[in-house]
A and B are shown apart, each in its own frame.
Chain A
Amino acid sequence: MNIDFAVLLIILFPLVGFLINGLIGSKLPKMMNAVIGSGAVLGSFILTAVLFFTQNETATVVKLFTFLNVSGLHVDMAFLIDRLSLMMMMIITGIGFLIHVYSSGYMHDDEGFYKFFAYLNLFIFSMLLLVMGSSYVLMFFGWEGVGLCSYLLIGFWFKNIDYSNAARKAFIMNRIGDLGFLMGMFMLLQYTGSLDYNAVFNFNLAAIPSEKLIAITALLFIGAMGKSAQIPLYTWLPDAMAGPTPVSALIHAATMVTAGIYMVVRSNALYVLAPATMEFIAIIGLCTALFAGTIALFQNDIKKVLAYSTVSQLGYMFLALGVGAFTSGMFHLMTHAFFKALLFLSAGSVIHAMGGEQDITKMGGLSKKIKVTFICFTIGVLAIAGFPFTSGFVSKDEILLAVYQHNVWYFYLAAAGAVMTVYYMFRVWILTFFGTFRGTAEQAHHVHESPISMTFPLMVLAALSLLGGLFQFPHVFGGKEFLNDYLKPVVSNLTREDDGAATKEIIILLATVIGLAIIWFITKKNYAVASFEGKYTGIKKVLADKYYIDEIYEALFVKPIAAISRFSDRIIDNKMVDGVVFMTGKMVTWSGTTLRYIQNGQTGFYLLIMVLAMAAIFAFNIFYKL
Chain B
Amino acid sequence: MSFTTAIFFFLAFVAIFCAILVITSKNPVYSCLYLVLTMFCIAGNYVLLNAQFLAVVQLIVYAGAIMVLFLFTIMLLNLNNDSEKHKSLLLKFLGAIGGGTILLAVVIALKKTTLDAAPMVIPNTTQVGMIENLGKFLFTDYVFPFEAISLMILAAMIGAVVLGKRDKKGINEETTTPIS
Contacts and interface: CB of A to CB of B under 8 A. Distances in A.
A619 interface: yes
A615 B108 contact: no
A608 B99 contact: no
Contact of B102 (A604, A615, A621): A615
Size bracket of the B interface? 10 to 19
Given A604-B87, A604-B91, A612 B109 contact: no
Contacts of B108: 622
Contact of A618 (B91, B99, B102): B102
A618 B106 contact: yes
Contacts of A605: 91
A608 B98 CA distance: 7
B101 interface: yes
A413 interface: no
A614 B87 contact: no
A618 B105 CA distance: 6
A577 interface: no
A614 B87 CA distance: 23
A608 B108 CA distance: 21
B98 A622 contact: no
A615 B102 CA distance: 5
B7 to A, nearest CB: 32
B105 A608 contact: no
Contacts of A513: none
A621 B87 CA distance: 32
Interface in A84-137: none
Contacts of B1: none
Contact of A612 (B87, B91, B98): B98
Given A622-B108, A622-B112, A614 B91 contact: no
Nearest to A621: B109
B102 A608 contact: no
Interface string B128-160: 000000000000000000000000000000000
B64 interface: no
A608 B95 contact: yes
A615 B103 CA distance: 9
Contacts, number: 30
B94 interface: yes
Interface in B84-127: 87, 91, 94-95, 98-99, 101-102, 105-106, 108-109, 112
B98 A615 contact: yes
Contacts of A612: 98, 101
A608 B109 contact: no
A555 interface: no
Contacts of A619: 101, 105
A604 B84 CA distance: 14
**In terms of DSSP, what is the predominant structure of the interface of chain B?**
helix
A613 to B, nearest CB: 10
Nearest to B91: A604
Given A622-B109, A622-B112, A615 B91 contact: no
Contacts of B87: 604
Contacts of B105: 615, 618-619, 622
Given A622-B108, A622-B109, A622-B112, A614 B102 contact: yes
Nearest to A610: B98
Given A615-B101, A622-B112, A608 B94 contact: yes
A611 B105 CA distance: 12
A618 B98 contact: no
Contacts of A611: 95, 98-99, 101-102
B13 to A, nearest CB: 25
A618 B102 CA distance: 8
Given A611-B99, A612-B101, A618 B94 contact: no
Interface string A594-624: 0000000000110010011011001101100
Nearest to A609: B98
A97 B105 CA distance: 94
Contact of B91 (A608, A621, A622): A608
A618 B106 CA distance: 8
A205 to B, nearest CB: 79
A612 B105 CA distance: 11
Nearest to A611: B98
Nearest to A616: B101
Nearest to A617: B105
Contacts of B94: 608
Contacts of A604: 87, 91
B88 to A, nearest CB: 10
Contacts of B106: 618
A621 B98 CA distance: 17
A623 to B, nearest CB: 9
Contacts of B98: 608, 611-612, 615
A615 B112 CA distance: 17
21 contacts: A604-B87, A604-B91, A608-B91, A608-B94, A608-B95, A611-B95, A611-B98, A611-B101, A612-B98, A612-B101, A615-B98, A615-B101, A615-B102, A618-B102, A618-B105, A618-B109, A619-B105, A621-B109, A622-B105, A622-B109, A622-B112
Given A604-B87, A618-B102, A619-B101, 11 more contacts: A605-B91, A608-B91, A608-B94, A611-B98, A612-B101, A614-B102, A615-B98, A615-B105, A618-B106, A622-B105, A622-B112
Interface of A: 604-605, 608, 611-612, 614-615, 618-619, 621-622
Top-4 shortest CB links A-B? A618-B105, A615-B101, A611-B98, A615-B102
